[in-house]
A and B are shown apart, each in its own frame.
Chain A
Amino acid sequence: MLESAFFWLFGGLAVAASLGVILSRNTMHSVMWLILCFFNAAGLFFLLDAEFLGIILILIYVGAVMVLFMFVVMMLEVNEAVKREGWLQYLPVGGMIAVILFIELVAASTSGLFGSEQMAMAAHMGADVNNTVEIGKELYTRYLLGFEIAAIILLVALIGAIVLTLRERKDAKYQNISKQVHVRKEDRLRKVSM
């Protein structure tokens, strides 16, 4: 009873917040709405007893990814007139994608494959079942290969991003800390006999 009330609360707020993301004029407000949406998604995870996933969602997406989003949005100069321009031009493609996605979602949810009788509905486990431990065991034993592949892909992306932005400027002055620390009096000071 209380659980379904919370489900409707989190789910409803998540839908409302995601509408806010696309409907608000101010990009900064959009980002705030998206943060609210992530919070509610985390709430849904908590309802499913997946507290580890919920916390990680907040930690990674709200705590790090959205901060960078906001950073970029803050730096951008958003011009309302330019944003409206070409609105009609993009409408057919965008509308088509939206319609296809909508049909897919409706078809999938009404096909009965995701009905409550098809899913293994686990009852709530006891408080002593720690899903952090369970996820860790599964991830590092059964899915170790997939996990490592994902890690390698992320590493490659990381190095790629660094290589793309790394431009050594010849005219910029760099500080070499160890050189500074190791400087001796004799390097800087010369006695001249007059």
Chain B
Amino acid sequence: MDWLDMALQAVIWAAEILAIAVPVALAVAYTTYAERRVIGWIQVRQGCNRVGPYGLLQPLADGLKLFLKETIIPTKANKFLFIAAPVMALMPALLAFAVVPFGETTLFGLWETTHVMAIANLNVGVLYVMAISSLSIYGILMAGWASNSKYALIGAIRSTSQMISYEISMGFSIVCVLILAGSLGLSDIVRAQEGGLFHWYFIPLFPMFIVFFISGAAETNRSPFDLPEGEAELVAGFFVEYSGMWFAVFSLAEYAAMFLIALMTSILFLGGWYAPIPALDFIPGTIWLLGKASFLVFVFIWFRATFPRYRYDQLMRLGWKVFLPWTLAWIAVIGISTYTPGLSDVIAFWQPWR
């Protein structure tokens, strides 16, 4: 391998990183806009409509404002970890996108075989996403501890226990998908759902679909599970001491995690890049996937506008006493019906590995 090859490889890597980071940042900016408009619409008011036509330049103005703000570091804070925390929050949120398959393409007939549009098409993709997204706790935990503030610490502790509780039910609901798909690779899971709406996994796994999505809302600290930020009692929770761009990095991470949950739900339960009716497959798969994910992001915003915040003990009850037994029971249902004569013929419809 000579230097030219290595330089070329480095350029390709840089392009791949930019191909994820830039769209995610733009999508986050315009989700904040969409969130304000949608919530405004739900609450019968205008939302942002001053900057640019229909307020479309509002996210850019917000970003500029955050850039120009002074970043304050509290005197008694642990400086190194205080600065490292936002970075550690954003890093896993972006890293996890590396394995998300955005569709299949032949690059307009240029390639002979179809390639999966993912930066890394790992055969342990689901585990990778679980592992990387479980790291996002550290950013929050560090922020809470390094700020040397009571509100921040309590917010961080709440967030941690919440994320650990809901990660378990999320993992178990994924296990059901794995039993049906027979693979840990995200692109294999999507291919297992080929053939239209009735092959999608939200039909045999409907309770798991609901559990996964709600746990995702809890995992990303979205309302109605946004207790770590609880304005009323914790001011703003773990990032109360952060200002300017550091604060923006936290919200960037939160929204990126929200996209990831939306994408994962579409990939695991809603048929990924496939159209609901095979006749509609002439529309590119990426559009289907992003459309499904956008709808789920809309549902997240809808949640925020309609549900009041949970109380802390109710949150823990939901995670441990409701979701966990449900998921365990459904694993047993799927597992037993896979190997029971008679039932196995029914479930084989969703199990292409047979």
Contacts and interface: CB of A to CB of B under 8 A. Distances in A.
Interface in B114-154: 122-124, 127-128, 130-132, 134-135, 137-138, 141, 145, 153
A67 B164 contact: yes
Contact of A177 (B81, B132, B317): B317
Interface stretch (A55-63, A91-99, A138-146): A55-63
Nearest to A73: B145
Contacts of B324: none
Nearest to B322: A177
Contacts of A63: 130-131, 134-135, 137, 167
A35 B138 CA distance: 10
B78 interface: yes
Interface string A40-69: 000000000001100110110011100110
Contacts of A58: 131-132, 135
A59 B96 CA distance: 13
Given A71-B157, A71-B160, A55 B137 contact: no
Given A28-B78, A51-B122, A74-B141, A59 B160 contact: no
B2 interface: no
B184 interface: yes
Interface residues of B, number: 27
Contacts of B124: 51-52, 55, 132
A70 interface: yes
A59 B123 contact: no
Contact of B134 (A64, A70, A175): A64
B128 A55 contact: yes
Contacts of A67: 134, 137-138, 141, 160, 164
A178 B145 CA distance: 38
Contacts of A52: 124, 127
A57 B85 CA distance: 22
Contacts of B123: 51, 130, 132
B70 interface: no
A59 B132 CA distance: 8
Nearest to A56: B127
A132 B123 CA distance: 9
B112 interface: no
A62 B135 contact: yes
Interface residues of A, number: 22
Interface in A120-138: 130, 132
B191 to A, nearest CB: 15
Contacts of B128: 55
Contacts of A74: 141, 145, 153, 156-157
Contacts of A56: 127, 131
B5 interface: no
A56 B127 CA distance: 8
B145 A59 contact: no
Contact of B313 (A62, A130, A175): A175
Contacts of B137: 63, 67
Nearest to B132: A58
Contacts of B130: 59, 63
Contacts of B141: 67, 70-71, 74
Interface in B299-348: 313-314, 317
B114 to A, nearest CB: 17
Interface string A63-85: 11001101100100000000000
A21 B94 CA distance: 28
Interface string B164-184: 100100000000000000001
A163 B145 CA distance: 31
B164 A55 contact: no
Interface in B19-78: 78
A63 B128 CA distance: 11
Nearest to A67: B137
Interface string A1-45: 000000000000000000000000010100010010000000000
A130 B125 CA distance: 13
B134 to A, nearest CB: 3
A59 B157 contact: no
Contact of A59 (B134, B164, B317): B134
Nearest to A35: B138
Contacts of A177: 317
Interface-central residue, A26, A56, A58, A59, by most chain B CB under 10 Å: A59
Interface string A82-116: 00000000000000000000000000000000000
A67 B156 CA distance: 11
Contacts of A64: 134, 164, 167
A37 to B, nearest CB: 14
Nearest to B137: A67
8 contacts: A28-B78, A52-B124, A55-B124, A63-B131, A63-B167, A67-B137, A67-B138, A132-B123
Given A67-B137, A74-B141, 4 more contacts: A58-B131, A59-B130, A59-B131, A132-B123
